[in-house]
């Protein structure tokens, strides 16, 4: 574990990221006024794990969903808007 103050961490952010990426360290502590403030670790994942199915159970699709003619949604009387 390495420890940096905020200024050092800002200056060496790329170095810290590469060190974590190369598994040279498990984590890095960033301190402010000699007190630990942040524990920086390598993000283990793609960041997209929860996108598929994230709205599951929040709404229902009507049974006649496939019966809708999408062109009907655009055939309003445009005169009222002009």
Domain ranges of the chain: 2-41
2-41: CATH topology is YefM-like fold (3.40.1620)
The DSSP H or E segment spanning 78 is none
Q: pLDDT, tens digit, for every residue of 1-11?
A: 899 999 999 99
Residues (pLDDT < 50) of the chain are none
pLDDT score for 44: 80
The whole-number pLDDT of residue 82 equals 57
Residue 17, pLDDT score? 96
Q: Select from 64, 17, 58, 63 the least CA-distant residue to 41.
A: 17
What is residue 40's predicted lDDT score, i.e. its pLDDT?
Answer: 97
pTM for the whole thing? 0.55
């Amino acid at each position: 574990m390495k420890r940096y103050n905020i200024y050092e961490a800002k200056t060496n952010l790329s170095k810290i990221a590469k060190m974590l990426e190369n598994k040279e360290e498990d984590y890095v502590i960033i301190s402010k006024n000699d007190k630990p403030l942040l524990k920086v670790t390598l993000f283990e994942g793609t960041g997209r794990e929860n996108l598929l199915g994230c709205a599951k159970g929040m709404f229902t699709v009507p049974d006649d969903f496939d019966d809708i003619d999408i062109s009907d949604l655009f055939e309003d009387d445009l005169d009222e808007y002009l």
